[in-house]
């Protein structure tokens, strides 16, 4: 599924086309997403988008009366096209703008969402999220203190949105490998010194993925249709049975939290 870098790349891709543009029409072609699309979304009609922001993996189209919340789910993508371009299969939601452009949410599996957040409120989906990983609020000290007495594997711990948002499966795999930390090690048994090594690596890994356009998996493409390129640099994710790039030992794959976890039993302790 699209992870934080892919969502951030989508935000950067669509912003120049829709920022300060007036929404002239909203078309809900299929309201049956992960949650039914509320009629409140139509409130953005005839209003200008004054900001396009991201919180975790959610995108917010902000106007003076509230915000449209978009999530790409497991297979969704956003495209900016000419408003007269024919719809594609699975184009469920579109926003038409005064510059004759359309922003379309395409989601074959319909696990994404389109919701409404009233002004001066925080939607319940956003209310309990931890800090953004690329901010100063995400520190080794904070993570270390939060982890004490936690028996959950450290990989699942850093993927917990209450700890930090947006560290998805790909980037958790990659960051733990770079830090030399075994994914099954209990979060509460990871020392402050090791968190001081891990947290900057998480930040660097996510920032590099954003810079390079996100990781291209089978379902993700940027808003302009160009793929991301970070997948070319993956060190462990998706490389089960291949040699470790550090020691050449065969990489191991296990399941943690029902997610694929690939690591090097020699390099990660």
Instruction: State the CATH number of the domain containing residue 147.
Output: 1.10.8.50
Is 125 domain-assigned? no
Is 91 domain-assigned? yes
**Are 86 and 195 within one domain?**
no
Question: Is 54 annotated among the ligand-binding residues?
Answer: no
Q: What is the pLDDT of residues 47-82, one digit of tens each?
A: 999 999 999 999 999 999 999 999 999 889 999 999
Instruction: Give buried/exposed letters for 5-29 (b at 16+ CB in 10 A, else e).
Output: bbbbbbbbbbbebbeebbbeebebe
Is 132 domain-assigned? no
**Are 109 and 209 within one domain?**
no
Terminal alpha carbon distance of the chain: 28
Question: Is 182 annotated among the ligand-binding residues?
Answer: no
Is 113 domain-assigned? yes
CA distances from 121 to 19, 63, 80, 205 (A): 22, 13, 28, 32
**Are 108 and 219 within one domain?**
no
pLDDT at 217 over 60: no
Q: What is the pLDDT of residues 10-52, one digit of tens each?
A: 999 999 999 999 999 999 999 999 999 999 999 999 999 999 9
| Helix residue ranges, H only, 109-244 | 140-147, 154-158, 169-179, 192-211
Is 164 domain-assigned? yes
Query: Percentage of residues in the chain with pLDDT exceeding 90?
Result: 87
CA 34 – CA 113 distance, rounded (Å): 6
pLDDT score for 225: 64
Q: What is the pLDDT of residues 164-207, one digit of tens each?
A: 999 999 999 999 999 999 999 999 999 999 999 999 999 999 99
Instruction: State the CATH number of the domain containing residue 61.
Output: 3.20.190.10
Residues with catalytic function = 2-3, 57, 259
**Are 174 and 61 within one domain?**
no
CA 142 – CA 137 distance, rounded (Å): 8
Record the tokens describing residue 166, joined without a space: 């947006």
pLDDT score for 221: 59
Range of the structural domain that residue 45 is part of: 4-117
Is 127 domain-assigned? no
**Are 81 and 144 within one domain?**
no
Is 268 domain-assigned? no
Is 128 domain-assigned? no
Three-class SS state of 51: strand
Of 232, 236, 238, the C-alpha closest to 213 is 232
Question: Is 25 annotated among the ligand-binding residues?
Answer: no
C-beta of residue 220 within 8 angstroms of C-beta of residue 2: yes
Indicate the number of domains in the chain.
Answer: 2
Instruction: Give buried/exposed letters for 79-118 (b at 16+ CB in 10 A, else e).
Output: bbbebeeeeeebbbbbbbbeeebbbbbbbeebebbbbbbe
């Amino acid at each position: 599924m699209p992870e934080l870098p892919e969502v951030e790349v989508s935000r950067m891709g669509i912003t120049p086309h829709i920022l300060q543009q007036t929404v002239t029409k909203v078309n809900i072609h299929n309201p049956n997403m992960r949650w039914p699309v509320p009629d409140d979304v139509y409130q953005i009609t005839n209003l200008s988008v004054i900001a396009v922001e991201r919180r975790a993996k959610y995108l917010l189209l902000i106007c003076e009366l509230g915000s449209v919340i978009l999530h790409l789910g497991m297979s969704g993508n956003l495209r900016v096209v000419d408003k007269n371009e024919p719809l594609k299969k699975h184009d469920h939601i579109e926003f038409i703008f005064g510059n004759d452009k359309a922003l379309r949410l395409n989601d074959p599996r319909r696990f994404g969402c389109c919701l409404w957040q009233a002004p001066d409120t925080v939607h319940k989906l956003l209310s309990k999220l931890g800090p953004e990983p690329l901010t100063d609020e995400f520190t080794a000290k904070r993570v270390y203190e939060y982890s004490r007495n936690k028996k959950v594997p450290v990989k699942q711990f850093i993927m917990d949105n209450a700890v930090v948002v947006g560290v998805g499966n790909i980037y958790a795999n990659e960051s733990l490998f770079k830090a030399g930390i075994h994914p099954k090690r209990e979060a509460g048994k990871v020392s402050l010194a090791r968190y001081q090594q891990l947290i900057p690596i998480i930040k660097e890994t996510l920032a590099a993925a954003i810079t390079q356009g996100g990781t291209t998996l089978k379902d993700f493409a940027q808003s302009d249709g160009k793929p991301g390129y970070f997948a070319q640099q993956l060190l462990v994710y998706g490389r089960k049975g291949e040699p470790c790039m550090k020691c050449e030992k065969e990489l191991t794959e296990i399941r943690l939290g029902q997610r694929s976890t690939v690591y090097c039993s020699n390099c990660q302790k």
